[in-house]
Amino acid sequence: MYIIEMQNITKKFPGIVANDDVTLQLKKGEIHALLGENGAGKSTLMSVLFGLYKPEGGRILKNGQEVNITGPNDATALGIGMVHQHFKLVHNFTVLENIILGVETTHRGVLQMKDAREKVLSLSKQYGLGIDVGKEIQDITVGMQQRVEILKMLYRENEILIFDEPTAVLTPQEIDALMQTMKGLAAEGRSILFITHKLDEIKAVADRCTVLRKGKKIGTVDVADTSKEELSEMMVGRKVVLSLDKKEANVGELILDVRGLSMKGEDGHKNKLTDVSLTVNAGEIVCVAGIEGNGQTDLVYALTGLAPISGGAITMMGKDITKTKIRERGRLGMAHIPEDRHRHGLVLDYILAYNAILQIYFTPRFQQSGFLKQGEIRDYAEWLIRQFDIRSGRGADTITRSMSGGNQQKVIVGREIDRDPHLLIAVQPTRGLDVGAIEHIHQQLLKQRDEGKAVLLISLELEEVMNISDRILVMYEGEIVANADPKAVSYQELGLYMSGAKREVVG
């Protein structure tokens, strides 16, 4: 008897089978991991369970009884709750208001907050969540927001809890706390579905693990009897090298020199950047680590010229580029793989070929007296497609919007690397990509380094930071609080820097 059993679920979208005869069995009181690459069908399967999609085939049973879930309300009624990857919280509501939202008790139309407050407080205490229910969401940390989401499920007395990639936004310490909470909930008899692609976390908390690949179920295994290598092989379908083959850095001349950079916040708010100084030399990868929203984005905007700075100086290869225009910075040898590929990196409604030339369309190679050279553009795009193994429906003519995220990213990475820059600024270049694509992009970054380019990598993934960088800078609230050697620093220590609990003076 399973508390939830999804039998032979098939869900099709035009041109693709997102779930192909997938069966998932969740035992009462277990932590069950759902492992798969991006696009393997994890989210689709959970959306089916949550009633967001209607499957073409298969059925869902709760405690052996077939149930019909047609929407989130049905799911909630069955005791199914979900912590989404992007939290569903109202930012200017208090914690308490967010928790009761949708299940408010009212008396003649007037909210009854007193009972709710007591219940939330006792739950928070019981699970050691330590939440101040009176604070507004915008004033609490991301880790705290996640606990609010968990409290929301507990308040609704959900017994089946789905966590969708819950650790992506957390510090190592917060991840540990979350793992403890999850274990505690399971020990109480609640059943947890844990969606992730991080093998360490599965090994740390999960009892069993179901692996999906390309919409198909590969198998369900007991985590205790399965190694990380076996899990990753099930996920990717081939052997994966989990550690990178990395040569010693051959550090050369100074390429980027940033002194005392600061950026004002929007009226009244505190500075986005305060006195940031850093250097990047040829032949090294300097990684900026930190929790999302601690000024990394602003730092990149300042360096690339996307946003104005209020103080400090930026020098690239001995030339002051503090006031230089974006295009000119590019001409001087700065390439930029942007954080948000849909916002900055691509014109999604342009064809692939037009996005391939986004940074070089004005060069004589691609235009003559103002007219685009269509033939050259197409040839270049096709060369880029071959060079970086970019897959798409109609080659150079594919509308970029219709391509998968990984292939869109390959267009950007390929395009930027091919500019043969002196300085490559890569912002979360592997976000949302699967293991295979991540491996490929990491190799490209290392290749750039080994060819003597300066690489500035901004990443939220500590594992990436530790594996690939030659030097780590940690940002906290718009300041650089640590300059660390990846060989000498521990995950825990980085976590302390990232959460502001510790700082060293950086010159």
Partner 1 sequence: MRGLFKGDGGLSVLSSLVAVIAGLLVGLVVLLLTDASQAFPAFINILTAGFQSIRNFGEVLYFATPIILTGLSVGFAMKTGLFNIGAAGQFTFGAYVAVLIGVQATFLPPPVRLLVSLLAAMLAGALWGAIPGLLKAFRNVHEVISCIMTNWIGIFLVNWLILNTIFDAERNSTMRVPAAANMPGLGLGEFFQGDAIRPSSVNSGILIAILTAIVVYIILEKTKFGYELKACGFNQDAAKYAGISEKRNIVLSMMISGAIAGLGGALHFLSGAGITMNVANVLSSEGFTGISVALLGLNNPIGIIFGGLLIAYLHLGGFQMQVFGFVPEIIEIVTAVIIYFCAFVLLVKMMLTRAAQKSAAQKPPDGAGPPDSNKEGGQG
Order of strands, sheet of 311-316, starting from the edge strand that comes earlier in the sequence: 273-281, 254-263, 311-316, 319-320
Q: Which stretch binds partner 1 (CB under 8 A): 54-62, 141-149, 197-205, 339-347?
A: 339-347
Q: Under the criterion CB under 8 A, does residue 179 sit at the interface with partner 1?
A: no
Cβ–Cβ under 8 Å, residues 268 and 291:
no
Restricting to residues 33-52, which ones interact with partner 1 according to CB under 8 A? Answer: 37-41, 43-44
Selected binder of partner 1 within 327, 450, 485, 492 (CB under 8 A): 327
Q: Say if residue 251 is exposed, middle or buried (CB neighbours under 10 Å; 0-12, 13-18, 19+).
A: middle
CB-nearer residue toward partner 1: 349 or 504: 349
Q: Count other Cβ atoms within 10 Å, centred on residue 61.
A: 16
Q: Which stretch binds partner 1 (CB under 8 A): 32-40, 196-204, 268-276, 283-291?
A: 32-40
Residue 9: how many CA atoms within 13 Å on its side-chain side? 28
Q: Under the criterion CB under 8 A, does residue 380 sit at the interface with partner 1?
A: no
Q: Under the criterion CB under 8 A, does residue 361 sit at the interface with partner 1?
A: yes
Q: Under the criterion CB under 8 A, does residue 433 sit at the interface with partner 1?
A: yes
Restricting to residues 203-232, which ones interact with partner 1 according to CB under 8 A? Answer: 214-215
Q: Say if residue 119 is exposed, middle or buried (CB neighbours under 10 Å; 0-12, 13-18, 19+).
A: middle
In the three-class reduction of DSSP (H, G, I as helix; E, B as strand; rest coil), residue 118 is classed as helix
Element (H, E) at 34: strand 31-35
Q: Under the criterion CB under 8 A, does residue 437 sit at the interface with partner 1?
A: yes
CB proximity list for 499: less than 8 A, separation 6 or greater? 171, 173, 174, 291, 476
CB-nearer residue toward partner 1: 209 or 427: 427
Q: Under the criterion CB under 8 A, does residue 56 sit at the interface with partner 1?
A: no
How many positions of this chain bind partner 1 (CB under 8 A)? 67
Residue 391 CB, shortest distance to partner 1, in Å, is: 5
Taking the C-alpha atoms of residue 271 and residue 476, their distance in angstroms, rounded to an integer, is: 12
Selected binder of partner 1 within 59, 91, 394, 447 (CB under 8 A): 394
Q: Under the criterion CB under 8 A, does residue 399 sit at the interface with partner 1?
A: yes
Q: Under the criterion CB under 8 A, does residue 323 sit at the interface with partner 1?
A: no
Read off the tokens for 342: 């849909």
Q: Under the criterion CB under 8 A, does residue 387 sit at the interface with partner 1?
A: no
CB proximity list for 180: less than 8 A, separation 6 or greater? none
Q: Which stretch binds partner 1 (CB under 8 A): 12-20, 66-74, 140-148, 281-289?
A: 12-20
Cα dihedral angle (273, 426, 433, 406), rounded to 10 degrees? Answer: 130
Residue 495 CB, shortest distance to partner 1, in Å, is: 30
Q: Under the criterion CB under 8 A, does residue 382 sit at the interface with partner 1?
A: yes
Cβ–Cβ under 8 Å, residues 212 and 42:
yes
Q: Under the criterion CB under 8 A, does residue 354 sit at the interface with partner 1?
A: yes
CB proximity list for 14: less than 8 A, separation 6 or greater? none
Q: Say if residue 121 is exposed, middle or buried (CB neighbours under 10 Å; 0-12, 13-18, 19+).
A: middle
Read off the tokens for 310: 């209020």
Q: Which stretch binds partner 1 (CB under 8 A): 136-144, 276-284, 391-399, 476-484?
A: 391-399
| CA terminus-to-terminus distance, the chain | 62
Q: Under the criterion CB under 8 A, does residue 238 sit at the interface with partner 1?
A: no
Q: Under the criterion CB under 8 A, does residue 133 sit at the interface with partner 1?
A: no
Selected binder of partner 1 within 83, 221, 261, 385 (CB under 8 A): 385
Q: Under the criterion CB under 8 A, does residue 362 sit at the interface with partner 1?
A: yes
Binding site for partner 1 (CB under 8 A): 13-16, 18, 37-41, 43-44, 214-215, 304, 306, 325-328, 330, 336, 338, 343-350, 354, 358-359, 361-362, 367, 370-372, 374, 378, 381-382, 385-386, 389-399, 401-402, 404-407, 433-434, 436-437
